[in-house]
Amino acid sequence: MTPRPPAFVALGARRYRVAHVPLEGVTDLAITGGRIVVLRRRIPELVELAFDGTILAERDLPDFVCGHGMRALGGAAAGVLAATDMDGHKIALLGPDLHTREQLHCDARPGLGRPFNHPCDCAEGPDGRLYVADGYGNSAVHVFAPDRTHLASFGQPGHGAGDFSTPHSLLFDGQGRLCVADRENNRVQRFDAEGRYIDEIGGLHKPMALALMPDGTLLVTDQTPRLSAYDAAGRLTGRCRTFSTYGHGLAVCEDGTVVIAEMAPDRVTFLRPVAG
């Protein structure tokens, strides 16, 4: 078979070479400890990849029902991964060995308006508090103290400022703002650490995943499908297509390589920076 030419994409002035690693059941991924940790909706739930895409190891999460989100936590929780069990209604905090150290959970008693009811993602704030996007059964974000005490919740079903449809992914940007992918409202809303609405980024079609570039650029996948880049003011600075129906998870390596957990077809896609 004659080799096909490689694909390239661009985000603003940055140009990337595209590579794919097929991986069934992929839902999200995170960068930690010199490797990529992929969360899957099948057994084994965790797959460790080298940065060249080689599979290094696999591991079960035997107490998981259906994985959804994966995010590396920094600060006081450095080296910890937050893995979200959408249908198990819990967040597992994994150590560097990928064993569960502790959980945020509801004793398998999901409830409307309280933690948890099919959560999507978990992120850490600058002061060590944890923020959980409780996105499918609840349209809310829950806030937990560093000791994991539930402090507050904000958001409700709706379309106004501070309301949510499905809060699907969240992170803090370089300005200390909590960015929330408000999927069916076709926007990313930005809040302060107390949940007070600041503004929003529109022009998206069902945003799925969020990540930050080393320079603070916010990356957003949506169901167009595409990957969009925004500066700190929320201005669009670059955009390209993603290669499956859903770019469901997203992370960025230290060298600027963008890694996407793609669904339908399932694979891990690498956007590797190239010079020139």
* Residue 76 pLDDT exceeds 70: no
Q: What is the pTM of this model?
A: 0.97
CATH 3.40.50.300 describes domain 8-274: no
What is the residue-averaged pLDDT of the chain? 96
Q: Please say whether the beta carbons of 180 and 133 come within 8 A.
A: yes
Residue whose pair of structure tokens reads 């390209």 in the numeric block:
240
Of 91, 104, 31, 24, which Cα lies nearest the Cα of 61? 91
Question: Can you give the pLDDT at residue 189?
Answer: 98
Task: Measure the N-to-C terminal CA separation of the chain; round to a whole number of Å.
Answer: 30
Rounded distance, CA 187 to CA 207, Å? 7
pLDDT digits (tens, 9 = 90+) for 189-231: 999 999 999 999 999 999 999 999 999 999 999 999 999 999 9
For residues 195 and 200, give the distance between their C-alpha atoms in angstroms, rounded to a whole number: 13
Residue 78 predicted with pLDDT over 80: no
In one letter, which amino acid is 245?
T
